[in-house]
Amino acid sequence: MIRLKCTVAYVGRAYDGWQSQKLGLSVQENIEAALHDICGKKTNITASGRTDAGVNAAGQVFHFDTERDMTPRKWMGALNGHLPDDIRILEVEIVPRTFHARYSVRWKRYDYCINLGPYDVFSKDWAYQSPVAMDPAVMEEASRYLIGTHDFTSFNSSPLSEYPDQVRTIRSIRFTREGNILRISYEGKGFLRYMVRMMTAALMEAGRGKTSAEHIRTMLEAKSKTIARKNAAPNGLTLQYVDYFDILALNENGMYREFLMEDTLPHGFVLEDLERRVRENVYPRAYALTTRHSQELLGTLLLEDETGGKILLYQDAEDTVMSLQEGLRERLGEAFDPVMIHGADPSEPVSLK
């Protein structure tokens, strides 16, 4: 049994979203139907997340497990041979079973495109055709209130009964102009339902002069499900790219060690519990933890794996961690077996147990 990671692009116009459903045609069911034809049995796929009806993707990612022995190139050709022209597999990779298309995500990028010029039949499937003028400078000024970690209750339609925690982090919002096309790029770890489209609708209202840039802050602080009632049209939105943490880390002996990215931690999770699980072989590999809880708990953590080797877990967003590791190598000698985790900056100075 192997696990395959696939990158797929699709035009959302003809589909009722990514996820399979009883009524309507989805991207997922098209791909699973293709896999059924290839494998001769039902094969479930797991994506990085859902896209809504009419939303496009340039870099959606999904994984599936199979016993079928084919090279990635042959898998890509076989899948594309069974898929409609508006769904295209761009890449297929063999990955460790620890990889998960949803839970191993580092961040995602969504692009919303707006045509500020005359109606363009060639861009209508991927860019919203604005009937009125907008001021991109005002929109960019307003977007600054959305960057960072906030409670986005006002800017999504996910019910509080199902998603009580509506705090999310937006790493950046960038505006670029390509001729008549204004592209707004949102990067973040995760987004709630309609979140990008509702934020974009509010920015467009500011750009049209119907509200002020400061009104975005008022809406955000209101934490109300009724204050933002508009969604930007789905055709302007594209899931552009999904970035993942490294699935494999190379140790000093040239051997690869697998580790899993956990999405959530149980309440009250402590470092001693992680160490116990590693010692008792509950976790045969040291797990890399990337949640807000782990960011508070982990600066640097030294553990022993089942082979008795030392593993250093370190969280850092920049490649400058290499200079730090060199210093640790001198202190620890041959016992130092680095596993780099590109995630969040450590909340505390480096300390070794």
Residue 8 is classified by DSSP as E
- Please name which of 180, 175, 178, 216 lies closest in space to residue 198, comparing C-alpha atoms: 216
Catalytic residue among 52, 111, 305, 316: 52
Alpha-carbon dihedral angle through residues 187, 191, 196, 202, given to the nearest 10 degrees: -110
From residue 6, how far is each of 17, 62, 151, 169, 350 by CA, in Å?
18, 5, 32, 26, 37
Taking a C-beta distance cutoff of 8 angstroms, is the pair 36, 30 a contact?
Answer: no
Q: Please indicate whether residue 263 is annotated as part of the active site.
A: no
- Please name which of 5, 13, 39, 254 lies closest in space to residue 124, comparing C-alpha atoms: 13
Rounded Cα distance, 209 and 216, in Å: 13
Q: What H or E segment, with its residue span, contains residue 341? A: strand 338-342
Q: Beta strands 128-129 and 148-151: pairing type? A: unpaired
Catalytic residue IDs: 52
